Amino acid sequence: MRLSRRTWFVVVGVLVLALGGGGFATWQYTNLFLPDRLCDGAVSAKDVQQVLGDGRIEVVQSRLPKDLAGPAGRCVVRVRGGADLTLQSHGVERADKRSPVDPAMSQPDRGPLGAFANDTGWLVLPAGCRSTTTGSTEVLPDRDADILAADVRHRGEHGLMWQDNPSKEKPDQEARAALARLAADFGAALAKSSGCGSADVPDVHLTAPGPAVTPATDGQLCGLPGVGTGRNLPELAQRVSDPAALLQSCWVYNQIMSEPALRLTVTADSRYPTLVADRKNLDTALPTGWRGTGTDGAVHAQCGKDHLFFHLSGRPDLVTPEPTAFSTQLFTSWVNAVAAQRGCEPIAPD
């Protein structure tokens, strides 16, 4: 049976519409033609999909500086109608806002310092990758490296309160691992492009998040015997990081659970101190009876073969009334308990 010319036009038209609609749907809703690497080859498309979920992925912005005097490195990837992922290097004036480590976050157990939740995290860039332009008038030459921040914004959400979210979310270790790989990949690409540090991509293996929040007992704060204020402190809670974490942190909460009253961090890693304290303060002589150097709430002291850095931040006045950390039983008992745990002599006076 021969078809009329009009029938042929109808058949062809239907085929064109079907193929065109299918092609549009494929373009709109799938990643059929998505390359394996995004942002000038810096990051894995598979990891981006792991972090952002299903949907059409597009690169919104990609910038790798050619030298350290250039603008910050930046990679922005978006899922159509879903979420945005931003990877960006930050100068030292932003590092202080990123360095507190929520015990609920997962950390690399070797290699670069950092911490990751499901939708946010940071990683120290390779040594030497410190921008000569900080974006402010303050020059901080003693800092060794900038940080690489990774943030996911879900459409319709307001500003991400990253310090609070990790404690409230259900940890997704696969998403955290993918976010950490993206940060490591982009950091290595930035180092290679800028000619600083090592361009090798580190093997980032994350620790587990710390155990859930538990009631805190004075005299056993942070899971260490003898740590406390010597006073009855009702309704305190605490969370401690995983034992494998390079940055050991303990957050103590009072009745206001949205933010910890105390953040106690200790590490033997030499890269962390200058993220939270100036070198001038770190080299300051301590009060009589203390070993090491430092300033109020930040102490650097030798412990066996290691140099430990102790850092107290937050609102100590919500827990203890003493005016300085050096005068609080809480800080001194914690410093000495950590030293004893690591097999060295006391750091604070009895």
Render pLDDT for 89-130 as a digit per residue (tens, 0 to 9): 876 544 444 456 889 999 998 888 999 999 999 998 887 787
Using alpha carbons only, give the angle 103, 243, 100 rounded to the nearest 5 degrees: 30
Structure-model confidence comparison of residues 203 and 21, the more confident one: 203
- What pLDDT band is residue 261 in, cutting at 50, 70 and 90? confident
Average pLDDT over residues 19-23: 48
Average pLDDT over residues 309-327: 75
Q: What percentage of the chain has pLDDT greater than the value 70?
A: 76
pLDDT score at 33? 62
The answer to whether residue 162 scores a pLDDT higher than 90 is: no
The answer to whether residue 216 scores a pLDDT higher than 90 is: no
pLDDT score at 293? 95
Average pLDDT over residues 159-185: 79
pLDDT score at 27? 45
Of 109, 127, 274, give the one whose Cα is nearest residue 206. Answer: 109
pLDDT score at 24? 46
In the Cβ-directed half-sphere of 214, how many Cα atoms lie within 13 Å?
Answer: 15
The answer to whether residue 348 scores a pLDDT higher than 90 is: yes
Poorest-pLDDT segment among 25-34, 120-129, 223-232, 307-316: 25-34
DSSP string, 140-207: -TT----EEEEEEEETT--S--TTTHHHHSPP-HHHHHHHHHHHHHHHHHHHHHHT-S--SPP---BP
pLDDT score at 147? 86
Poorest-pLDDT segment among 184-188, 235-239, 241-245: 235-239
**Strand duo 120-124 + 43-44: pairing:** unpaired
Residue type, 14: V
pLDDT score at 7? 57
Structure-model confidence comparison of residues 76 and 278, the more confident one: 76
Residue type, 82: G
pLDDT score at 8? 52
> What's this model's pTM, rounded to 2 decimal places?
0.82
pLDDT score at 265? 94
Helices (H), the chain: 5-29, 45-52, 92-98, 165-168, 173-194, 273-276, 279-282, 329-341
Average pLDDT over residues 174-200: 90
Q: Determine the Cα–Cα distance for residues 12 and 9; give it in Å rounded to an integer.
A: 5
Q: What are the structure tokens assigned to 176, written together?
A: 């955290």
pLDDT score at 74? 92
Residue type, 61: Q
